[in-house]
Amino acid sequence: MPAVPERAPVTTRSETQSTLDHLLTEIELRNPAQPEFHQAAHEVLETLAPVVAARPEYAEPGLIERLVEPERQVMFRVPWQDDQGRVRVNRGFRVEFNSALGPYKGGLRFHPSVNLGVIKFLGFEQIFKNALTGLGIGGGKGGSDFDPHGRSDAEVMRFCQSFMTELYRHIGEHTDVPAGDIGVGGREIGYLFGQYRRITNRWESGVLTGKGQGWGGSLIRPEATGYGNVLFAAAMLRERGEDLEGQTAVVSGSGNVAIYTIEKLTALGANAVTCSDSSGYVVDEKGIDLDLLKQIKEVERGRVDAYAERRGASARFVPGGSVWDVPADLALPSATQNELDENAAATLVRNGVKAVSEGANMPTTPEAVHLLQKAGVAFGPGKAANAGGVAVSALEMAQNHARTSWTAARVEEELADIMTSIHTTCHETAERYDAPGDYVTGANIAGFERVADAMLAQGVI
């Protein structure tokens, strides 16, 4: 690895930025071939110069250097047998990034695109997202390059059992609490929890979140990420003197986040006209029929082209293409990272978009974010806008700890309060650091301050 010269002490904002740029170079050298992690680190560190210059204690004990290095990285093989008796081998990952505020908390993703760089990117984002909730949870992420799509229930069960046979030794309700993510829903969480219980001989319900409601899960957890994102978008609009009533929205994806984003948009008077998957997207001029979409995606595990076939004249399926070509007032990317690029952002701006709010983890490329902000579009970054999911996961942990269950109304009220608080924190922090309306800067600095203060208090560890 090329040698990197030592950095000088920080005294001014320009020197601070130079030091942070130097650290970014170090990150790229120490973590080669991990572009997603590099992107996440750049997105945060390029906004921290004002706060580090204002509070030089953050620069002294190597705090930022510790923040960008995971406390623990676990990678392991996952052997399992398919229905034909063939032994398959996948890779499993768990990156426990930062526990200054509480036990590591973050989802498990099962998808062919998963690698160490992707997991580190997601885990780094999770640190700040979790900090913004104010609920005392650290940041972590995990998963595997296993693809559950098209696999039988028996195959998924065997894979999950093998995966947990290694993972169990690294997690626990006071250590690390995984949840679901792409490819990991209620079915997978059930199999994972069952194997954890089998190995440990403990009913430790707080070790996983996203569980079934009959055995330790929380009401509103499936809906939380989508609901929370819409609540954040509504708060951004209120700052501009508008509300969701009568607004047209484009939503990407057709999984859990997208479905409940559409549901909440509809409940608040907006018209969500799109959904998508890897095969293409659907435009429904009358608004997406949620019952039909849920039947196709959640029950039949089908593709969105089936929605268009069964919906009738109001809907059309567009193979391939970009869902962001559809004119709308609001855009809510809810599928996966880097799905909304600079060209798509330019199209949205030309079509008059007012706000973009991220339901997925970093679905908007840095170039697209800058273009949207320059055009005056309200932009809600995922670490703030999609924090509703992990917030309700933390509420599920609280219910598990108390051996109780809250009503849906209580959980939804708590979620609304948390999302309002996150919006207020981001908005006020951006103004405090001379970046009014910049929710990216506000979210990054507010999350960083909470984690950094805890790290300083706990010493160099």
- The string of pLDDT tens digits covering residues 441-455 is 999 999 999 999 999
Stretch (H or E) spanning 188:
helix 186-200
For the segment(s) 224-385, the CATH number from 3.60.9.10, 3.20.20.450, 3.90.400.10, 3.40.50.720 is 3.40.50.720
The answer to whether the annotation marks 297 as part of a ligand binding site is: no
At 8 the pLDDT is: 41
Q: How confident is the model at residue 360 (pLDDT cuts 50, 70, 90)?
A: very high
The answer to whether the annotation marks 225 as part of a ligand binding site is: yes
At 9 the pLDDT is: 45
Residue 339: HSE in the Cβ half-sphere, 13 Å Cα cutoff: 28
Q: How confident is the model at residue 6 (pLDDT cuts 50, 70, 90)?
A: very low
The answer to whether the annotation marks 286 as part of a ligand binding site is: no
In 3D space, the residue among 203, 171, 264 whose CA is nearest the CA of residue 403 turns out to be 203
pLDDT per position as a tens digit, 304-323: 999 999 999 999 999 988 99
The sign of the dihedral angle between the CA atoms of 188, 189, 194, 195 is: positive
Burial class (CB in 10 A: 0-12, 13-18, 19+), 146: buried
At 4 the pLDDT is: 43
Task: State the average pLDDT over residues 373-390.
Answer: 97
Question: Is pTM, for the whole model, over 0.85?
Answer: yes
Q: How confident is the model at residue 13 (pLDDT cuts 50, 70, 90)?
A: confident
Q: What is the tally of helices (H) and strands (E) in the chain?
A: 17, 13
Select which of 120, 141, 264, 297 is catalytic: 141
The DSSP letter of residue 56 is G
Residue 7 has pLDDT above 60, yes or no: no
The answer to whether the annotation marks 256 as part of a ligand binding site is: yes
In residues, how long is the chain? 461
Q: How confident is the model at residue 11 (pLDDT cuts 50, 70, 90)?
A: low
**pLDDT averaged over every residue in the chain:** 95
The answer to whether the annotation marks 180 as part of a ligand binding site is: yes
Residue 380 has pLDDT above 50, yes or no: yes
Residue 420 has pLDDT above 80, yes or no: yes
Say if residues 303 and 344 touch (Cβ distance below 8 Å).
Answer: no
Percent of the chain at pLDDT > 70 equals: 98
The question of whether 264 is a catalytic residue gets the answer no
130 to each of 170, 291, 337, 386, how far by Cα in Å? 20, 32, 18, 10
- Lowest-pLDDT range of 148-157, 159-168, 297-306: 297-306
pLDDT per position as a tens digit, 14-31: 888 889 999 999 999 999
Task: State the average pLDDT over residues 58-65.
Answer: 92
The answer to whether the annotation marks 351 as part of a ligand binding site is: no
Burial class (CB in 10 A: 0-12, 13-18, 19+), 153: exposed
**Apex 49 CA angle, 44 and 51, nearest 5:** 95
pLDDT per position as a tens digit, 105-147: 999 999 999 999 999 999 999 999 999 999 999 999 999 999 9
Task: State the average pLDDT over residues 405-434.
Answer: 98
In 3D space, the residue among 210, 24, 245, 246 whose CA is nearest the CA of residue 106 turns out to be 210
For the segment(s) 72-203, the CATH number from 2.70.150.10, 3.40.50.10860, 2.40.160.50, 1.10.3720.10 is 3.40.50.10860
Q: How confident is the model at residue 60 (pLDDT cuts 50, 70, 90)?
A: confident
